[in-house]
Structure 1
């Protein structure tokens, strides 16, 4: 078991506090329910979660994968760096009739025993741990040999990956050693992180259709109020009206380029679905 109270520098602890505050800002549970709840059901199906199995959802948020896994009869732990998201998750679980455990946990320092879980899941969650190799190592450590892994991550080329690219010039530089989240949506990168410790690897690019927004401006304004990473970038440039206008325009243009032009066509958000077994 990793000792989460040790082996972390002051800088790393400060970074994690910043990440926790970022995800606690805005209203990620509403965003997840409004836009991507179905991705949780998709990853649970891909992992073939079964009754009686012990399942860990890493960076679970408000439980869009953990709750469907529990409804299949699994014993589920929903873990996240930001426990502020759990209140909504508990309510949603109660409404669905699901029982599960909610546990505050850093994906890079999981407070669980080696080989404790039959299945590990993450739905656009583990990808945001800043140190990818550390998160991958912990993911593999807590899964039993022969256990199953299923992950969904936004691709660099897809809509959300391009949103992060659009925000990058306005965002704070990544800390030393940190990597961009959408790299988890790159097949070669994920293979490199897991190496020979994962077998029966399958990776497929899929997309979720988003019909909520008609225009780029609607998308932009929704993310400005709901999505922690977007809120953090706007907070950083809040005292520079020119930069705020530039980012407003850039995000609206991104939406228009992906079909949010007032026509009602909606847009597609591409993700990588990764499944494997622990060697």
Structure 2
């Protein structure tokens, strides 16, 4: 595994992302499973699954589910908490360890958007999905709350590696359509919001400073720059106060062309 992937794996092991998934956005996984039409007996792959926010609802629907993620700590947390059996496999979204055309549904809930090379990731999603199968994604939009949070953190964060693309681009319909091109058909792309309650912007900021890997990494980058850390504190609190209740995402589904 190269240095970039090791850094990504370490970032998502920081804090407590399983808490974020279950406490802040628990309904998104079920929303994605319903949009993909997951049914009993189907072979389903959840890519960049984390602790199983979408994989578990798919398994509860009766599907045969594999949850794959780059970060073993997240898979362990999911395995320990899952109320239903499913397969947990360590894997890179840009080089999935599965055969061609091996799944009926390939999905990801605010997961693959964080793989740095978007085209390689899209290629893998298509490769492992059977012809006529469904690809389903939920990703934060650039103009929505989480997209604006990343824009707020960007001036303070470590510089991205060469060739890495911004995660919120996966929430831009035109970008996602361009990644899949004519390899998919029956595309449905809809913007929705999920309602999130924090008492105020400071509470939002502090929760993400404790639990969310990208935010933790950004603050660690500012360990020797207390003035910048204080400025980021103010900026994130102001962001939360200004519009942190409804977080916009793109729900994208398509069928792999036969």
TM over 0.5: yes
- In 2, the alpha carbon distance for the partners of 1:92 and 1:174 equals 33
The correspondence of residues 70-149 of structure 1 with structure 2, limited to 5 A, is: 70-93=59-82, 96=83, 98-149=84-135
Aligned-residue offset at 1:200: 0.1
The correspondence of residues 1-279 of structure 1 with structure 2, limited to 5 A, is: 13-93=2-82, 96=83, 98-211=84-197, 213-258=198-243, 267-279=245-257
Aligned residues: 257
Moved over 6 A (4+): none
Aligned-residue offset at 1:88: 2.0
- In 1, the alpha carbon distance for the partners of 2:220 and 2:15 equals 12
- In 2, the alpha carbon distance for the partners of 1:108 and 1:88 equals 22
Cα distance per residue 1:81-114 (max 9 Å; x no partner): 0010122211221xx2x11000000000000000
Unaligned runs of 5+ in 1: 1-11, 260-266
Structure 2 SS opposite 1:275: strand
Aligned-residue offset at 1:38: 0.6
Structure 2 SS opposite 1:192: helix
Aligned-residue offset at 1:154: 0.1
- In 1, the alpha carbon distance for the partners of 2:116 and 2:219 equals 20
TM, length-normalised to structure 1: 0.91
RMSD, aligned CA: 0.8
TM, length-normalised to structure 2: 0.98
- In 2, the alpha carbon distance for the partners of 1:31 and 1:239 equals 27
Structure 1 SS opposite 2:26: helix
* Aligned 8 A contact 2:75 2:90 in 1: no
Cα distance per residue 1:29-55 (max 9 Å; x no partner): 011110011100000000000111110
